Structure formats: structure tokens, C-alpha cells
Amino acid sequence: MKIVVGSDHAGHALKELIKNLLSKRHIEVVDVGTTSEDSCDYPDFGKMVAEKVSKGEFDRGILVCGTGIGMSIVANRFPGVRAALCNDSYMAQMSRRHNDANVLVMGGRIIGPGLATEITNVWLDTSFEGGRHKERLDKIDIPLSSVG
């Protein structure tokens, strides 16, 4: 599995923790930034992660900003991206099981390191159930040919 991660300044510390977790799990991880807690614009990093997942360059992505709301909005504008803002492990589990979320989003000012670790592990370890859930996702995905 290849995962691309990104954050703004408010999510930088949590992103670094997540990168360490992914490395310990022997998951290939690429960090597109930011590289510090200096103020920056979350859309710049959200776009980089979402674009790479949308193009199939990475299996999944993880984004962190202050609340997770802004990154979720950015990521979900890209075709084929199903970004889920998760504030607990149940949300992480269901985002994968029922929604096949391929981008995990968390708020660095909302959750702490212990909970972020738990959420990430659950999200990584949960499989998509398919079946009726796949049929529902098919109703959401808009073919690029129909976008005018």
C-alpha cells in the first residue's frame, strides 16, 4: 500500500506522528508538506494529496488541518476521491466498511495523538464490504464524461 500525506501548519505535528506510525507498519508513505508549523494555506496541500489519489498514483491519502473540515471540502472535489473526516474509531471503521473512503481526514486541533493513532490503525485495517454499499457509491460517482 502506498499512502500520500499532507497537512497545513495546524496539522503538522499530527501528520508527523502519522508518518511515523505508517513507517512502523511498513507502509510506503510520501509527504507532500507542509514541513513546519509556519502559517500556510490548507488548500495547497489538500489539492496535492487528493490529486495524487484521484489519478491513482497512491492507494490512499491522509490529510490533517486544524479541524479537518477544510481538507475534507478540498479533497472531495476531486473525481474518485472519497475523503472522510473521522473524529473517532467508529467513524474510521464505517468510512472504510460502507464508504470505501480512500482519504482519511483528521483535525489536529480536535483529536490528540492517542486517538489519531487509533483512528489511523482502524482505518488502515478495515476493508470495504462492497455489495449494497458499492451500489450506493455508484450513485455518487459522476462519470467525467457527464461533467460539463
What domains are defined for the chain? Answer: 2-143 (3.40.1400.10)
- Among 9, 12, 65, 86, the active-site one is 65
Catalytic: 98?
A: yes
Phi, psi of 53 (to 5 degrees): -70, -45
Catalytic: 12?
A: no
Output the pLDDT for position 141.
Answer: 73
Output the pLDDT for position 148.
Answer: 46
Task: Record the pTM.
Answer: 0.95
- Among 9, 12, 86, 98, the active-site one is 98
Instruction: Tell me the three state secondary structure of residue 34.
Output: coil
> How would you class 131 by CB atoms within 10 Å of its CB: exposed for 0-12, middle for 13-18, buried for 19 or more?
exposed
List of residues 6+ apart from 110 with CB closer than 8 A: 66, 67, 68, 87
Q: Which residues of the chain have pLDDT under 50?
A: 147-148
Amino acid identity of residue 66, one-letter, is G
For the chain, state the CA radius of gyration: 14
> How would you class 142 by CB atoms within 10 Å of its CB: exposed for 0-12, middle for 13-18, buried for 19 or more?
exposed
Output the pLDDT for position 147.
Answer: 47
Packed helices 113-125 and 89-97: angle between N→C axes, nearest 10 degrees: 20
